[in-house]
Chain A
Amino acid sequence: MLLRHRRFFAILGFLLIATPLIWGVVLPDSAGLILKDGRRPTPAPPAPESLARYAAFPGQVDAYLKDHFGLRHAMIRTISSADSIAAGSTGSNPTRLGRRRSDASWFAGLGNARKGSLEKNEGRAEL
C-alpha cells in the first residue's frame, strides 16, 4: 500500500512547504511575539515609485516576509531548543558557550590547543 501511495509524496511535500504561507495568512503570529526579540516587526514596504526604489524593493519585501511567515515563532523556538539539547545544557548562553568549547576541544583532540587559545583570549599568553 505504501509503495502504491508513494506518488502522493509530492502533494504532502507541497502542503508542508506551503504551510508557513497559509498559516501566515490564516493565523499570523502576533506582533507581540516579534517585540519579544527586542525590535518592531518590519513594516510592509510601500509600492516603488522610482527606479532606485525598485532596486531596493526586493530587499524590503524579504525583510517583511522574514517577520511575517506562519509558525515563525514556533519554528525559531524549535531550533533554539534543539541547539540547547545538542549542547547538553539548558543554562544561559555564556554557560552553554563555555561547555560547548570544552566538548569541541575534546572532540577535535585539541585539549592543549584549547588551553593556549583561551590563555591568549584572556591575555595571559603572548599573541
Chain B
Amino acid sequence: MVFSSITFLFYFLPIFIACYFLTPTVAGKNVVTLIFSLVFYAWSDPRFLSILLFAIVFNYAAAIAVDRRDGPARKSALGLAVAVNLLVLGLFKYANFVTGNVAALLKPLGWDFGQTSIELPLGISFFTFHCLSYIIDVYRRRFGANRNPIDVALYISLFPQLVAGPIVRYKTVARQLDARRATLGRASVGARIFIVGLAQKVLVADVVAPLARVAFDQSPHRELAEAWIGLLAYTVQIYFDFAGYSNMAIGLGIVLGFTFPRNFRMPYTSLSITEFWRRWHMSLSSWLRDYLYIPLGGNRGTDLQTYRNLVTVFVLCGAWHGANWTFVLWGVWHGAFLVLERLGLGSLLARIPVWLRWAYALLAVMGGWVLFRAADLPTALDYFASLLGRNGAGDVSFDMHDALNERAMVMLIIGCTLAVLPRWLPRLSSPVILRAAADAGWTFALLIFSMITVASGAYSPFLYFKF
C-alpha cells in the first residue's frame, strides 16, 4: 500500500486514526498499530508477510540471546544474527543479480548457469537495517533486549517507516513504545508535516515524473535539451518523492506520539558532496557511519585507509539501493567525489565564490542521478553523451513535447525553487497571527488539492519502495 493511494488515504488512514485514538491505553494502541502495520505490509503482496514475521521473531529471539551472553559467546551470537539478517537480504535482493552476472560470465565458456528469479519483498532493505541496528545496539549494551514481543514487532513493522524509512534506531523510539504522549497539539503539528509530504509527492514529484520517464526510458539518443530537461525533472522528482514520503512518515509518527529523525535538510543547497551527504537521506548516512564506516576504522587510520573506508561504504550504499551495476557505480561516483574533496578539492572549493561551489555540488549530484535512474550502463553512457550534446543539440522528441504540459512545467519550476530557495530566503517578519493564518490556509489548500489529485486515480508508486 502506498501513502498516496486511494485505499490508504481515504480508507486505511481514517479507520486507523479512529481506532488508534479510541483505544485508551498505550499497550492497546500498540496492538492496534501492530495489526494495522501488518495489514499495511501484507497489502502489497500477502506472501511477503511471512518474511517480515520471520524477521520479527528471529530478531526478538536473537536480541535476547545476545543480551544473555558475555565475551566471545556474545560476539558469536551477534555474528550469527547479523549473518542471518544479511543472508535473507542477500537472497531476496541480490540472488538474481549475482546469478545473472555469473551466468553471463560462464556463457562464453559454454556453461549454462541457471538464473534465479526471486521477487523483491517490499521495504526489505529498510526493515533489515532496523533489525541490524537493534541487534548491534543490544550487543554494544546501549540498551537491554526488549522482552515484550509486541514492542519489538511494532518497532520493526511500524507502518509509517516500514517500507521507505526514515531508518529509525531502536534507541530513538524505545521509551516511546511504552510511554508516549499523543496530544491534540502534537497531532496538529504531525498532520501539517504529513500534508506537506503528501503535497510534495502528489503535486510535485508525480507531475514531473513523466518528463524524466520520457527522457530516460522512451527517447534513445535524446538530444541536449531533452536530456537536461529530463535530468532536471528527475532531480526534482527523486527529492520530492523521497522527502515527501519521509515527511509523511515523520508526520504520522508525531500524530501517534513518536519522534522520527529528520531525513532531509535542503540537500540541493549543498556546497559540496560532503555537505550533500549531511543533508540527503540523513538516517541512512548516519546508519552507515555508525554501523559500517566507524567499525571499518573511519578516519582514524592513514589517509589511504580513510579513502578505502569511504569508497567501501559508498559502494555498499549504492548496492543497498539496488542490485544493479548502475547503483554500484552511483556509489563509486559519490565515494570518488568524497575522496577528491578530502584530497584537496574541498580546500580549493573553499576559495571560490559560493554560487560556483553550489553549481559544482549540484552538477555532481545530477551526474550521479544519471547512473541512479538509467536502466543499465549503456543507457547511462548514452545519457551522458546526450548531456554533452553528442547526440544533437536542440531537438526534443514528440513524447517530450507531450509530457511538457503546463502543469509539469509549473511544478518543475516550483520544485526547483522550493528545493533551493528557502535556505537563502530571509525570514519574513510578519506578525505571528498572519503567519498562523497563512500556514493553516496553505496547508488545507494543499490537502484538498492533494486529495483531489489522488482521487483522479493516477497510480503513483513511491520510488524508494523498490529499494
Contacts and interface: CB of A to CB of B under 8 A. Distances in A.
Interface string B380-409: 000000000000001111101110111101
Size bracket of the A interface: 35 or more
B401 A104 contact: yes
Contacts of B223: 113
Interface in B422-467: 432-433, 436-437, 440, 443-444, 447-448, 451-453, 455-457
Interface residues of B, number: 61
A2 interface: yes
Contact of A62 (B6, B47, B190, B444): B6
A7 B6 contact: no
By DSSP majority rule, is chain A's interface helix, strand, loop, or mixed? helix
Contact of A58 (B9, B46, B229): B46
Q: By CB atoms of chain A within 10 A, which of B225, B432, B440, B455 has the most?
A: B455
Nearest to A109: B225
B401 A2 contact: no
Contact of A16 (B45, B397, B448): B448
Given A3-B433, A58-B46, A107-B409, A117 B397 contact: yes
B455 A9 contact: no
Interface string A1-34: 0110011111111101110110010000000000
Interface in B13-51: 13-15, 17-18, 42-47
Interface string B59-99: 00000000000000000000000000000000000000000
B185 interface: yes
A3 B402 CA distance: 45
B401 A105 contact: yes
Given A66-B457, A104-B404, A120-B398, A2 B11 contact: no
A65 B183 CA distance: 31
B5 A62 contact: yes
B188 interface: yes
Contacts of B405: 87, 100, 104
A44 interface: no
A118 to B, nearest CB: 7
Contacts, number: 151
Interface in A14-70: 14, 16-18, 20-21, 24, 54-55, 57-58, 61-62, 65-66, 69
Contact of A9 (B14, B191, B453, B457): B191
B394 A108 contact: no
A108 B191 contact: no
B10 interface: yes
A10 B183 CA distance: 10
B6 A58 contact: no
B184 interface: yes
B401 A114 contact: yes
B176 to A, nearest CB: 18
B167 to A, nearest CB: 26
Nearest to A115: B395
Contacts of B436: 2-3, 6
B255 interface: yes
B357 interface: no
B407 A13 contact: no
Contact of A116 (B15, B395, B432, B437): B395
B7 interface: yes
Contact of B190 (A10, A21, A65, A86): A10
B11 A58 contact: no
A110 B184 contact: no
Interface of A: 2-3, 6-14, 16-18, 20-21, 24, 54-55, 57-58, 61-62, 65-66, 69, 71-72, 75-76, 78-80, 82-83, 86-87, 97, 100-101, 103-105, 107-108, 110, 112-114, 116-118, 120-121
Given A97-B402, A117-B398, 16 more contacts: A3-B432, A8-B184, A12-B444, A14-B14, A14-B191, A21-B11, A21-B15, A55-B47, A58-B43, A69-B6, A69-B11, A72-B455, A75-B455, A82-B452, A100-B406, A104-B409
19 contacts: A6-B185, A9-B440, A10-B190, A14-B14, A16-B451, A17-B14, A17-B451, A55-B45, A58-B1, A71-B455, A75-B451, A75-B452, A79-B455, A83-B407, A100-B406, A104-B401, A104-B404, A113-B223, A121-B398
Which 10 A-B pairs give the minimum distances between C-beta atoms? A10-B187, A75-B455, A18-B14, A9-B188, A104-B404, A20-B10, A10-B188, A7-B185, A13-B191, A79-B456
